[in-house]
Structure 1
Amino acid sequence: MSIISIIGSGSMAAAIAGRADRAGHNVEVVSRDPAKARALADKLTDKVTTGTYGAPPAGDIVILAVPYSGLSAVVADFGNTLDGKVIVDITNPVAPDLSGLVTPHGSSGARETASSLPSGAHVVKAFNTVFGHVLARGGCLDAFIAADDAQAKARVSAFVESLGLRPFDVGGLQMAHALEALGLMMIGLAKNGAGTWDLAMNVKIG
C-alpha cells in the first residue's frame, strides 16, 4: 500500500485518514499544531504516524486538507519539499458569505495552488464535493477527479477506489473550476433546498 501524507487535522483530514488507515495504507498526519496531529493519529491504528510541519512529507501522495484561506501559506511553508509529489487539493475557495468563489476569473483554487508549487509537483483536484462527516460514515460515494498529469490522476483514482469510493475522471485541471463551483452549490443546497448536510452527489448511469 502507499504512504499517504495528510496536511491538516480537521474533519476532512480525519475522514480521509480514517478511511485510508482502514484500507491498509500507511498514513502520515502533519499539522502546524503537533498536538492536533498526534490527537488525530491516536484515534487510528498504530500504523498512523505524525510528521514535522514544513519537513519533507513521507508520502508520494500529499493531501492538502486545510481551508483554502490558509492553503497558500502551507504551500509556501513546505516549498521545495513538495517537488515530485502528487498533490491532492480538496479545498473549496468560497467567499465567507457564500456569494461565490474567491479565485480570479477563469482560474480555480487548484490552478492557483499549482502555480505556486515546484514544477515537478502534480496537482489533482479531488474530495471537494464530499462533506467530511459523510465521508467518515463510510459507504460507497462518488468522488470527482480533475488533473492534467495522467499518471498522477491514475494514482489518485486508485487511491480513491481503495477507500471504497467510486472515482470519476472529469477531465484536465481546467475542470477544477467546475468542481469548486459544484462544491459551492452543494453547500448552498445543504443550507437551503435540502435543509441537511447529510447529502452526497452521486452519478446514476443507465
Structure 2
Amino acid sequence: MSSISIIGTGNMARVLAGRALAGGNAVEVIGRDASKADALVGSIGGGATTGRIGTAPAGDIFILALPYADAAPVVRQLGNALSGKVIVDITNPFNPDLTGLVTPEGSSAAQEIAKAAPAGAHVVKAFNTVFGHVLAAYTPEDPRPLDVFIAGEDAEAKARVSLFVESLALRPLDVGDLTSARWLEGTSVLLMRAMFGKAVRSSSFSIGLTVRD
C-alpha cells in the first residue's frame, strides 16, 4: 500500500484520511494549525500520525486538501522537501458565483501548482470531481463504482495514485496529461451549479463512466 501525507484539516482531509487508513495505507496529517491536525488524528485513530508544516512530509504521496489559493504557496514553502514525491491536487479553483475559474486562461490549478513544485516532484490531479460527503458514504456494495478522474504528466506518478485510489475501493480513470486538469476543474463548476441550481434533487451524486457492451 501507499504512504500518504495529507495537508489540510477540513472535511475532505478527514474523509480521505479515514478511507486511506481503512485501505491499509500509512497516513500522516499536516495542518497549518497544529492543534487542528492533532485533533483530526485523534478523532480518526487507526495509527495515523501528525506532521508539522516545517518538516518534510513522511508520505510518498502528498495530498493538497486545501483551498486553491493556499495550495501553490504551501508547495513553494515546502520546496525541496517535496522532491521525489507525488503531489495530488484535489482543489477546485472556481470563483464565488460559479461563473468560471480563477486560474489564468488556458491553465489549471494543477498546472499552476506544478510551476511551484520542485524538480523531481510530479503533480497529479485527482478527487476534485467527488464531493466529500459522497466519498464518505460510498461502499463497494453500491451498484456502480465511484470514479476518480486522474490527470498528470508522469505515467509512474499516475500509476501510484491509481493504486492508492484502488485501495480506497474506488475506480481510477486516467484522462491524460495536466491539460486535462482544466476540464476536470471546469466540470466541478457544472457539479456545483447542478447542486445549487437544483438540477438534481439530492446533493449525493457523482459523475463517472458507464461502459456498455
Same fold (TM over 0.5): yes
Query: What's the CA shift for 1:196?
Result: 3.2
CA distance in 1, matches of 2:153, 2:76: 22
Q: 2:203 aligns with which of 193, 197, 205?
A: 197
Amino acid aligned to 2:162: S
Query: What's the CA shift for 1:94?
Result: 0.6
Matches within 5 A, 1:83-162: 83-139=83-139, 140-162=145-167
More off after superposition, 110-119 vs 135-144? 135-144
Unaligned runs of 5+ in 2: 140-144
Q: 1:181 aligns with which of 175, 183, 186?
A: 186
Q: Is the 8 A contact 1:7 1:64 kept in 2?
A: yes
> What residue is the counterpart of 1:51 in the other structure?
51
Q: Is the 8 A contact 2:21 2:46 kept in 1?
A: no
Measured against aligned partners, the alpha-carbon deviations of 1:166-185 in whole angstroms (never above 9, x if no partner) come to 11011111100010001111
> What residue is the counterpart of 1:164 in the other structure?
169
Unaligned runs of 5+ in 1: none
> What residue is the counterpart of 2:142 in the other structure?
none
Q: Secondary structure at the match of 1:43?
A: helix
Q: Is the 8 A contact 1:89 1:124 kept in 2?
A: yes
Q: Secondary structure at the match of 1:97?
A: coil
Amino acid aligned to 1:180: E
Q: Secondary structure at the match of 1:144?
A: strand
TM-score by length of 1: 0.97
Deviating above 2 A after TM superposition, structure 1's stretches of 4 or more consecutive aligned residues are: none
Query: What's the CA shift for 1:195?
Result: 4.4
Identical amino acids, percent of aligned pairs: 55
Q: Report how many aligned residue pairs link the two structures.
A: 206
Q: Is the 8 A contact 1:92 1:109 kept in 2?
A: yes
Matches within 5 A, 1:60-99: 60-99=60-99
CA distance in 2, matches of 1:106, 1:14: 32
Q: Could you say what the CA RMSD is over the residues aligned between the two structures, in angstroms?
A: 1.0
Q: Is the 8 A contact 1:189 1:195 kept in 2?
A: no
More off after superposition, 160-169 vs 72-81? 72-81
Q: Is the 8 A contact 2:147 2:208 kept in 1?
A: yes
Q: Secondary structure at the match of 2:181?
A: helix
